[in-house]
Amino acid sequence: MKNILRKILLVGLLFGYISADDDWKFVCEPNELSFIADKRYFPAGGNDLFPLVFADSRTIQIDKKNKTIKVWTIWLSSQKGRDLMIQNLGKYGNHNNYGFHRYLLTLDYRNMRDKLISLMHMNCDGTGIFNEDGGNKWEQTAPGTLFEGITDEIMKKYNLK
């Protein structure tokens, strides 16, 4: 377990999402996030609600002609993010063990817009809480947002222009 925690912290330190002085920022315990140690996942952003977002390299579909990326992402929640999710999802039952969610996104890096296809709210143990359709509607990607950061990180990793 220490090795898994070390890998998660190292990834966070390398990409500037966790500083050496920070406490553990995630609501899930390190052993509950052990799946993140798989090399298929790479850091793609973060903010106060979701301090670390990972993209799943096995699911990435890049369409260079249309300049789009389709990818599953994992958004690890902070306590602030969990509190917001519990408040928003309360009508669907008990979410006290909410820990992260998975987004299936399409990112249009030509026109800087994003489309949420599917969203899965997950407990820390990996069991699902609630799935929802993302609406499949294009939204403009606002500058400085997590969606812009995810798009930028994937573009860098795959040398997309």
pLDDT, position 85:
84
What tens digit of pLDDT does each residue of 51-69 get? 999 999 999 999 999 999 9
pTM of the model: 0.85
Cα–Cα nearest to 95, from 103, 105, 85: 85
| 148: containing domain | 2-157
Residue 124 has phi, psi (to 5 degrees) of -60, -30
The secondary structure of 39-66 as a DSSP string is TTEEEEE--SSSSEEEEETTT-EEETTT
> At CA 122, angle to CA 7 and CA 63, rounded to 5?
75
The tally of domains found in the chain comes to 1
pLDDT, position 130:
84
CATH of the domain at 35: 2.40.128.710
What tens digit of pLDDT does each residue of 33-42 get? 888 889 999 9
Cα–Cα nearest to 148, from 69, 30, 34, 60: 69
**Res 17 pLDDT > 80:** no
